[in-house]
Amino acid sequence: MALEPIKQVKGRAVHVPGNDIDTDRITPARYLKVVTFDGLGEALFYDERFNPDGSEKPHPLNDPRFKGASIMLVGANFGCGSSREHSPQAIYRAGFRALIGESFAEIFFGNSTALSMPCVTATRAEIEALAQAVAQDPGLSVTVDVEKLEVRYADKAFPVSLPATAQKALVEGRWDPIADLLEAGDLLEQASARLPKAVLS
Amino acid sequence: MGKSLYEKVWETHALRTLPNGQTQLFIDTHLIHEVTSPQAFGMLRDLGLKVRFPERTFATVDHIVPTHSLLEPFADPQADEMIRQLRKNVQEFGITFFDVSSGLQGIVHVIGPENGITQPGMTIACGDSHTSTHGAFGAIAFGIGTTQVRDVLATQTMAVSKLKVRRINVNGQLRPGVYAKDVILHIIKVLGVNGGIGYAYEYGGEVFDRFSMEERMTVCNMSIEGGARIGYVNPDQTTFDYLKGRPYAPKGAEWDRAVERWKALASDPDAHYDDVVNIRAEDIAPTVTWGINPGQGCAITDRVPDPALYPEAERAGLEEALKHMKLQPGQPIKGVKVDVAFLGSCTNGRLSDFREAAKYLKGRKVAPGVRAIAVPGSQQVAQACEEEGIAEIFRQAGFEWRGAGCSMCLAMNPDKLVGDELCASSSNRNFKGRQGSATGRTILMSPVMVVAAAVTGRVSDAREVFGVGELVGA
């Protein structure tokens, strides 16, 4: 299965500040009562963005200046809590293709990588400097270079981190692991014959 | 240098190195539920794949199940669609399903252990972050996303990277009125909500040696709340005694062989750990949260933080939490008015939780104006509570006694907070909006503390209310 290699993501950015933003906030549980991921983009940060009557709250994603952004700048431990893939699905379906944060919760990180959406980490100072530049010029073009592990904007650049395994998966177009897993072939049957199994007895 | 259980289980389950450098790990047992599996089955169909080892997957329905009535169709058409999809999927692919009519249905992390499906040394995966619960048996249990649910269905393996292991020792004697829930809330407070990123937590020490399986499950359950995807306790005689005779546990000569194998899996005395943390049991008080993540907790005798006294970088987060919780900087947490009391969830919805709570609830009444609901974690827990007279104690006290499910832990069913109601909750997450109302407020605590809150209408020190133990903070 040939997948698109993700070598760099280029686009406009938006800053969603705060640490420990959990997946209940990213996609409230009532939006999980679905049997497909279609339409989840609308659920993104819903209770943070809208009042119960549907009117808008002040939120970076409601700010017309940042409409069309494809790179999200976030704080530490982003995506903590529930394992719901609905959260990265909602972010992706709302048009985002990369996240830059101080750190990411592990399950969220894995779910995002498997959707081809890199979550790179950088220092708080670098992220805040970029956020300020974006606030001053929302049209600023930002590049997340997954191959070189750096973020570039205007005449500036800063280094970012990504586990080597995720970097390789993205750059080589192996971010969806199913093809590689299936290649194990008979190894799977051999393992199943050898390893413990819960059997009604 | 010896090996940890994590390392031993990893070595026996690692099939090969994948092209990107991750390991292809075999998953012995796969648990699924209605929320995170339908899309995975959809992907499977799109790819023309089958479930490779259907006998290794077990299904239940828990998140969307109404706890007041199982009459179908469910009033919520979306919930009804989800249960029907699950039935269709398990039937098509030949998967064992603990349906609502089975008498065995319940929260996935309650029914796995009670049926003996969860066993030491197994790798277990489930599209649910609280899968760490199963680590209580010395299993390595992963919470996974839906794409990984598809991977496990299709190949019984997934692509993972090896974690570091942090040993957390809790030695000494817990004070009276301090429970497993307090232990894990304390650990998260000490190590932080992101302290466990990149780690598996191995819990041990005298307190864990003495803990029952259900207490170990409560702690392992909330590992993810500390950022650790995996938490486990080494298997011992307590583990074997719990499992013996359960429907899916090995029997006869196979049982004896299994126990020998399980004993050898426990971490070696000289095992290598990447980090070791020591916590004194005596330092742990009945703990409650005051904020919007499970690390924002304090002893019941404490005051909530005053952001002015913290470094500037931390203030915005503290202020946001206090604002949401409608608490004043520096106010005592004790005495805060409670609207709802919720006893249940995969953290504290097991028989021992209801037994301990009933001990103190007996003969008392829920305070006027408090909506109190008790939700057993499984149909088997519910039945045992009926047989032991526990359910009746809850009803007599004015609790609503419900059917099995996730209920108000996450509000994917009719049990929800309304407006800015404040809930004293035995569940695991106090995130904004978690219990179904964007402005709803959650205070996490042990089941006995939930009962104390229910009968007083306030966040209370259960030791005071019920006259147990010494009234010390920590």
The predicted-structure confidence for B172-210, as pLDDT tens digits, reads as follows 999 999 999 999 999 999 999 999 999 999 999 999 999
Q: Which residue of B has its CA nearest to A106?
A: B197
Q: Give chain A as a DSSP string.
A: -------EEEE-EEE---SS-BHHHHS-GGGG--SS-TTGGGGTTHHHHB-TTSPBPS-GGG-GGGTT--EEE--SSBTBS---THHHHHHHHTT--EEEES-B-HHHHHHHHTTT--EEE--HHHHHHHHHHHHH-TT--EEEETTTTEEEETTEEEE-B--HHHHHHHHTT--STHHHHHTTTHHHHHHHHHS------
What residues in B contact A39, CB-CB < 8 Å?
A: none
- The beta-carbon neighbor of B293 closest among A20, A172, A199 is A20
- Strand-strand pairing, B371-374 and B340-343: parallel
- Å from A154 to nearest chain B CA? 27
Please give the pLDDT value at position B1: 87
Per-residue pLDDT of chain A (201 residues; tens, 9 = 90+): 589 999 999 999 999 999 999 999 999 999 999 999 999 999 999 999 999 999 999 999 999 999 999 999 999 999 999 999 999 999 999 999 999 999 999 999 999 999 999 999 999 999 999 999 999 999 999 999 999 999 999 999 999 999 999 999 999 999 999 999 999 999 999 999 999 999 998
Determine which of B146, B248, B435 to mutate to test the interface with A (most A C-beta atoms within 10 Å). Answer: B146
- Å from A12 to nearest chain B CA? 26
CA distance B179 to B279: 15
Domains annotated for chain A, with CATH where assigned, are 8-175 (3.20.19.10)
- Å from A153 to nearest chain B CA? 26
Please give the pLDDT value at position B471: 58
Tokens 């009519």 label which residue? Answer: B101
Per-residue pLDDT of chain B (474 residues; tens, 9 = 90+): 899 999 999 999 999 999 999 999 999 999 999 999 999 999 999 999 999 999 999 999 999 999 999 999 999 999 999 999 999 999 999 999 999 999 999 999 999 999 999 999 999 999 999 999 999 999 999 999 999 999 999 999 999 999 999 999 999 999 999 999 999 999 999 999 999 999 999 999 999 999 999 999 999 999 999 999 999 999 999 999 999 999 999 999 999 999 999 999 999 999 999 999 999 999 999 999 999 999 999 999 999 999 999 999 899 999 999 999 999 999 999 999 999 999 999 999 999 999 999 999 999 999 999 999 999 999 999 999 999 999 999 999 999 999 999 999 999 999 999 999 999 999 999 999 999 999 999 999 999 999 999 999 999 999 999 998 665 554
Find, among B11, B24, B14, B33, the residue nearest to B129 by Cα: B33
Chain B touched by A2 (CB under 8 Å): no
> What are the tens digits of pLDDT across the range B223-280?
999 999 999 999 999 999 999 999 999 999 999 999 999 999 999 999 999 999 999 9
- The beta-carbon neighbor of B78 closest among A18, A19, A33 is A33
Interface of A with B in 84-143 (CB under 8 A): 84-85, 88, 103, 105-107, 110-111, 114-115
Q: Which two tokens stand for residue B210?
A: 């003495």
Chain B touched by A24 (CB under 8 Å): yes
CA distance B1 to B6: 14
Length of chain B, in residues: 474
Determine which of B18, B109, B223 to mutate to test the interface with A (most A C-beta atoms within 10 Å). Answer: B18
Q: Locate the domains of chain B by residue range.
A: 5-275, 290-466
CATH of B290-466, one of 3.20.20.70, 1.10.150.130, 3.30.499.10, 3.10.50.40: 3.30.499.10
Please give the pLDDT value at position B470: 61
The residue ranges of DSSP E strands in B51-155, in sequence order, are: 57-60, 96-98, 123-126, 140-143
| End-to-end CA separation in angstroms for chain A | 41
Please give the pLDDT value at position B269: 97
Q: Which residue of A has its CA nearest to B50?
A: A182
CB contact under 8 A, B36 and A85: yes
Same fold, B5-275 and B290-466: yes
- The beta-carbon neighbor of B145 closest among A111, A196, A199 is A111
- Strand-strand pairing, B123-126 and B140-143: parallel
- Å from B203 to nearest chain A CA? 20
CA distance A103 to B289: 23
The domain B5-275: what is its CATH number? 3.30.499.10
- Å from B319 to nearest chain A CA? 12
CB contact under 8 A, A33 and B119: no
